[in-house]
Amino acid sequence: MSDLVHAAISENAERRIVWAIAVIGLAASLMLLAGCSGGGVDSDGIAAAHDRAGSAEREWRTYLGDLSSSQTSPLAEINRSNVASLRVAWTYHSGAPEGVGLQMQVNPLVIDGVLYGSSPNLTLFALDASTGKELWRFDPGTGSWAASASRGLAYWNGGSERRLFFGARSFLYAIEADTGRVATDFGEDGRIDLREGLGRDLAADVMGVTVTTPATIFENLILIGGRVNEMEGAAPGHVRAFDAQTGALVWTFRTIPSPGEDGYETWPTDAWQTAGGANAWAGITVDAERGLAFVPTGSATPDFYGADRLGDNLYANSLVALDARTGERVWHRQLVRHDLWDRDLPSPPNLIELERDGEFVPAVAQVTKTGDTFVFHRETGESLFPLREEPVAPSEIDGEVAAPSQPIPVLPRPFVRQTFDESLVSDRSPEIAAAIRGRVKEMKHGALYIPPSVEGTVMVPGTDGGAEWGGAAWDASTQTLFVNANQVASILQVVEIAGEGELLDTAYLGLCASCHGLDLKGDGATIPSLLGVKDRMGFFEFHRILRDGRGRMPAVGAILPWYQRYPVASMLYDLEEGDAPIHWAEREGESHFANAGYQNLRDVDGLPGTKPPWGTLTAIDLQTGEHRWQIPLGDYPEVLEAGESGLGAENYGGPVVTAGGLLFIAATPDRKIRAFDKETGALLWEDELPFAGHATPSVYEAAGRQYVVVAAGGGKFGQESGDAYVAYAIPKSRDAGN
């Protein structure tokens, strides 16, 4: 494999990697070790940090700010009048990445003057929030894994005990907040294994249930879902509650219903024993006053082909309101029926209050990958804006039955483009436009919900949204929801394969096909053919490129161990015209359909194949459903190097809005963190981070001063991975030299 297009380490590439390793089976190389505490504890430093703490409401004690997932801070010391003077107050390096493509997606917590976060290697740490001084570290001993980035942790105050709940791979650890030591009375020696108790044998599934988004704490309960792989054999997406003191299981809500449970009839009869996914990977929002947990779920597995899971597939792709104390369903709304497009609900919903006819109505707002915003009454699930049914074209794939229609809000207006035609083809140059038109000419395209196809279906927005896991920020004072989004098209293509899956099938489809194509011939320009590669280089050079990467191609040495990497390299190296896997459907045995690799529509330079903007930031008035403003967000480095800007870029990590009239966001591949005027969208301040900050910032007060901190870990878009946490504040004399 030679140079991949520059999205090779995008969110989609991460899924390709997860898919390949899950199917290939790398259990031997991913053995998990028992957790172990790292260095000493600075007790005096912890006490000093506590003395400098702000009040609870002026800290950042919960993932995304509070149980409502508001992504809002009441602080106003940094405001429109002085934000231009914002400077770095401290920088902390959490530990150099020990693998390829590692990221830090962490939204750090700040509690009693102490900041808690994790490194790209999944090491937990505590810092003095006002100085960045390290106070303790905890290494769970699980090692790093590119498919299991951490987005944060959860905090529980049990009175005499204060605990952090930290996920590393499939384990949830209970850690003493003041010491960094394992709380050994929790679970088994301080941790619980989320793969257990699912009623499935997951021995062949390398991913199992992985903790990416942190748990949510309600009273003495830990509410948690998890990430699972997206192929056949995936774990089911149970939502569970565990006792925060003991780790004992309190309740389970099965998102793939068992016989006798509501929704069972929307699946094949044995799906509860075999189907996977429908998991709450994005996080859970809680209305503490009403005791309601709002759970957004993802698609059922496998993605893009559902002949073995015919039906609407409740409770996949649903917003489910549960009794947080018992796990009983109160109401649900399914936002995508029988998902064939990987339209997971990508972020925790925002709990909001809408002013209607002089009264405030309790509501919940869910942004989606399609660029829609659904708004429901919090207590009943009634939609607070009109909905319509969008017709869906029938699938042309044997055995597949698409749902006849999908629900779409009439308002609020979508915050991304939702259809594709040739007028949207990139016009960066006549040659680029002609090449893309030629590529999509025979593909299906047009409406929002066109099923995947053998020839390829152009989908707008793509598989990474629309909205992504960064979520939206809610400003109650202006009744405005702020959401950043991707505006990049994807290609959905399935391939018919005969016979049993082989190592080359799974590895090639998972890691290579999206760039080199099903015929292995590349694009004839920047992506060369793999056929006849032995005439161009020696085997060991070919293997080295496969192992270490080159240019835009990611290394797979950290993904495939040598005993699987060498066979894959050997098979690819020896392929000639007419060899497998070119003629996928002509082999002996029963045929089935599989995803032909996650693909974005890109031009010869690796940039999106549609017209900009390619990433946006939108302010949505939820009283009217109209947009207050929308602006392009960020730029690709290649665009900046060409002397252009303002085109927008794919972005990961969400916004935070403050009482100072500001909206802070990083998220973009140009390594910038920015502050916008929340009323107008005007850019008021920006700074360059040491690495791209694909994470949601936290805003807090410590030592009587307001800070904005972001995890800058890079690791996407083929960029270098990093380990920096950067905190900003209005300068004071003691900051000199920082």
Residue 11 has pLDDT above 50, yes or no: no
Report if residue 472 sits inside a domain: no
The predicted pLDDT at position 583 comes to 59
Residue 66 has pLDDT above 70, yes or no: yes
Shared-domain flag, residues 392 and 513 = no
Report if residue 242 sits inside a domain: yes
Residue 669 has pLDDT above 60, yes or no: yes
For 501-512, what is each residue's pLDDT tens digit?
A: 565 666 677 667
Q: Which residues touch 290 (CB under 8 Å, ≥6 apart)?
A: 362, 378, 379
* Domain residue limits at 256: 194-417
Report if residue 41 sits inside a domain: no
Q: Which domain-ending residue is among 556, 571, 595?
A: 595
The predicted pLDDT at position 31 comes to 36
Residue 143 has pLDDT above 80, yes or no: no
Residue 146 has pLDDT above 50, yes or no: yes
User: What's the mean pLDDT in 330-336?
Assistant: 98
Report if residue 29 sits inside a domain: no
Shared-domain flag, residues 378 and 502 = no
Question: Residue 534 and residue 311: Cα distance in Å, rounded?
Answer: 47
Residue 358 has pLDDT above 90, yes or no: no
**Residue 576: exposed, middle, or buried by beta-carbon count in 10 A (0-12, 13-18, 19+)?**
exposed
Q: Which residues touch 251 (CB under 8 Å, ≥6 apart)?
A: 240, 241, 326, 327
Shared-domain flag, residues 352 and 247 = yes
The predicted pLDDT at position 514 comes to 67
The predicted pLDDT at position 568 comes to 77
The average confidence (pLDDT) of the chain is 89
Q: Quick check: helix, strand or coil at residue 193? A: strand
Decide if 92 contacts 131 (C-beta within 8 A). Answer: no
Residue (of 145, 144, 193, 121) closest to 21 by Cα position: 145
pLDDT band at 551 (very low <50, low <70, confident <90, very high): low
Q: Which domain-ending residue is among 417, 438, 466?
A: 417
pLDDT band at 208 (very low <50, low <70, confident <90, very high): confident
The predicted pLDDT at position 7 comes to 38
Report if residue 257 sits inside a domain: yes
Shared-domain flag, residues 504 and 403 = no
Residue (of 294, 362, 279, 286) closest to 63 by Cα position: 286
Shared-domain flag, residues 335 and 228 = yes
Shared-domain flag, residues 363 and 236 = yes
Shared-domain flag, residues 404 and 260 = yes
For 367-400, what is each residue's pLDDT tens digit?
A: 999 999 999 999 999 999 999 999 999 999 999 9
Question: Residue 173 and residue 156: Cα distance in Å, rounded?
Answer: 12
Question: Residue 172 and residue 64: Cα distance in Å, rounded?
Answer: 19
The predicted pLDDT at position 737 comes to 38
Decide if 407 contacts 335 (C-beta within 8 A). Answer: yes
Report if residue 689 sits inside a domain: no
Q: What percent of the chain has pLDDT over 70?
A: 87
CATH number for the domain harbouring residue 563: 1.10.760.10
Shared-domain flag, residues 517 and 396 = no
Question: Residue 353 and residue 366: Cα distance in Å, rounded?
Answer: 14
Q: Total structural domains in the chain? A: 2
pLDDT band at 402 (very low <50, low <70, confident <90, very high): very high
Residue 343 has pLDDT above 60, yes or no: yes
Residue 513 has pLDDT above 50, yes or no: yes
For 73-107, what is each residue's pLDDT tens digit?
A: 999 999 999 999 999 999 999 999 987 788 999 99
CATH number for the domain harbouring residue 296: 2.140.10.10
Q: Which residue has the higher pLDDT, 308 or 497?
A: 308
Report if residue 91 sits inside a domain: no
Q: Which residues touch 664 (CB under 8 Å, ≥6 apart)?
A: 655, 656, 657, 658, 673, 674, 675, 697, 699, 708
Residue 20 has pLDDT above 50, yes or no: no
The predicted pLDDT at position 193 comes to 96
Report if residue 241 sits inside a domain: yes
pLDDT band at 435 (very low <50, low <70, confident <90, very high): very high
Q: Which domain-ending residue is among 595, 618, 638?
A: 595
Question: Residue 101 and residue 719: Cα distance in Å, rounded?
Answer: 8
